[in-house]
Structure 1
Amino acid sequence: MKRVLFIADMNDIVKNMNEAMLPFFRVQLCTADEKFIRKMIPIYQPDIVLVFLNQLRLIQVQELKVILDENEKLPVVMVGSMYEFREYGFDDGNIRRLVRPVSNQEVISILCGMLALDYAEYEGALEHREDRRKHILFVDDNPLLLRSMKALVGDKYRVSIAVSASQAFEIMQKDCPQLIFLDYEMPVVNGKMMLQTIRSTPRFAKLPVVFLSGVADKEYIKKILQLKPDDYVLKPAQKERIFDVLKKHLGA
């Protein structure tokens, strides 16, 4: 694998970019510290340098510019705004500049092109990685809850969401999940009815189904458990509880 030295101040965007590159490159994340960068270049011997200018201080950029000038044969991809490129003097030279906003895929495509690699191989590797993740379906008529659940577990699992039973079954027919989180109090076709349909359908009968409910009453919960779901989670669902359920039923 080609080696990428990724110079940036850590934040969620940088973290996501770093993770996106891992299937295709060896990546070394490096803070914009002049002494650290000078040590890392000869030790890591990168094939290319990726720099995110966002949140870097002027002194850091000035020191970085000196280091890059000293290593002029090292290819560099830099992500920033037009203002940052002009302000810091990166509006000319051999540095490949990408203006924000730019997607992870666009950055990786440019890195591949500069390293004479086939970007299609990256896409294939990414698809392969995603296909291997376990598939979870969240069914709830609350779009806000669905978005929060997808954000919570989406890094580790492949997540589908549905706002109704009919939409959920449509997803299940095309791409059967390995676990279903199902809102018990949905309108029209509620959780009880959907669970009965799942259990009576041979293809889906053995799928683990976890009820979600916003009612904390003991008798109500007892009534729900009599339907024999595989588990039960009280809303608002806590992160630890969701991951405990996932570990229990999916083993990871």
Structure 2
Amino acid sequence: MKKILFVGKINESVKDIEELLEKHFRVQICQLHTEAVADILKVVTPDLIVVSLAGVLESDSRIFEILSKEYRDIPVLTIGTDEEKGLVYGANSHFENIPRPADKRTVMEAVCSKVDASLVIQDGMYKVMENRSRKLIMVVDDNAMTLRSIKEMLQEYYDIAVATSGMKALTTMGKNPPDLILLDYEMPVCDGKQTLEMIRADSEFETIPVIFLTSVSDREHVEAVLSLKPAGYILKPPVKEKLMGAIREAIKD
């Protein structure tokens, strides 16, 4: 999920935009203050910086000097009037401005354009689809060591998302659907079978291939796994070569 640093003076307008963006992106909020922006950029590398110019002062131009000189590789999108824009950066081509007041669709289209994503509007709802150069694989397992191990195996070749439960996986998938799911069959509470049923019950996710991860190898158990018609199954702990082969076969990579 793309990361956005949202800078502004905290008011209702800023809160509305934050609520809009955080449904589709990972949003970090920051006060419109030179030191605050400079400090947060030392520890956070966003894909986009969005700045609300509401209430901006001429002294805040220092923020844009810093962004222009030290963080030119990060795109910047501002939301403000021509007067507010003129106070802090004028015609600087590094920054793009959305005239205020701005409606939600205008904001979403501008943000998606900046982070190389597509905006789909269906029944009045927004959906953001990242234009990925690599396949995205979601690993769902309640064991943190398993998640870390599989991520280390695959991250050189694929983008990786992780979830520690079926419900968390479905929530994440709603924001950024993966190309393939590696799903632990023996998770507590909501196991792999139940999670797969929920995935297939959603028309948006039903065609995503699912490979089960299972630690039990007896015939009866394997037959129960295969009866669900997954794209494949891998015994845990997974062997990299076998896992890579199963993934390539499932997504024809």
1:136 matched to 2:137: yes
1:198 matched to 2:152: no
The alpha-carbon deviation at position 199 of structure 1 amounts to 1.2
The alpha-carbon deviation at position 154 of structure 1 amounts to 0.9
1:119 matched to 2:70: no
Q: Which is higher, the Rg of structure 1 or of structure 2?
A: 1
Give per-residue Cα distances to partners, 1:100-137, cap 9 Å, x unaligned: xx99x8xxxxxxx79xx94237xxxxx76983211110
Give per-residue Cα distances to partners, 1:168-224, cap 9 Å, x unaligned: 011111100010000000000000111111111111111101110000112210111
5+ residue gaps, structure 1: 1-101, 106-112, 122-126
Give per-residue Cα distances to partners, 1:140-183, cap 9 Å, x unaligned: 00000101111111122111000111110111111000100000
Give the Cα–Cα distance (whole angstroms) in 2 for the partners of residues 130 and 120 of structure 1. Answer: 18
Give the Cα–Cα distance (whole angstroms) in 2 for the partners of residues 227 and 192 of structure 1. Answer: 8
Give per-residue Cα distances to partners, 1:44-78, cap 9 Å, x unaligned: xxxxxxxxxxxxxxxxxxxxxxxxxxxxxxxxxxx
The alpha-carbon deviation at position 242 of structure 1 amounts to 1.1
Higher helix share: 1
The alpha-carbon deviation at position 251 of structure 1 amounts to 2.3
Counting only pairs closer than 5 Å after superposition, residues 153-168 of structure 1 correspond to structure 2 as 153-168=154-169
4+ residue segments displaced more than 4 Å: 127-130
Give the Cα–Cα distance (whole angstroms) in 2 for the partners of residues 155 and 164 of structure 1. Answer: 24
Local SS of the residue matching 2:132 = helix
Q: Is the 8 A contact 2:180 2:210 kept in 1?
A: yes
Give the Cα–Cα distance (whole angstroms) in 1 for the partners of residues 246 and 210 of structure 2. Answer: 11
Give the Cα–Cα distance (whole angstroms) in 2 for the partners of residues 139 and 188 of structure 1. Answer: 14
Higher strand share: 2
Tell me what 2:16 maps to.
Answer: none
1:208 matched to 2:209: yes
Q: CA RMSD in A?
A: 3.1
Tell me what 1:249 maps to.
Answer: 250
Give the Cα–Cα distance (whole angstroms) in 2 for the partners of residues 204 and 145 of structure 1. Answer: 24
Give per-residue Cα distances to partners, 1:221-243, cap 9 Å, x unaligned: 01110111111111010000111
Local SS of the residue matching 2:233 = strand
Counting only pairs closer than 5 Å after superposition, residues 7-26 of structure 1 correspond to structure 2 as none
Tell me what 2:48 maps to.
Answer: none
Give the Cα–Cα distance (whole angstroms) in 1 for the partners of residues 229 and 74 of structure 2. Answer: 46
5+ residue gaps, structure 2: 1-41, 46-68, 76-114, 117-129
Local SS of the residue matching 1:212 = strand
Local SS of the residue matching 1:176 = coil
Give the Cα–Cα distance (whole angstroms) in 2 for the partners of residues 195 and 164 of structure 1. Answer: 12
Q: 1:130 to 1:238 in 2, by over 3 A?
A: farther
Local SS of the residue matching 1:131 = coil
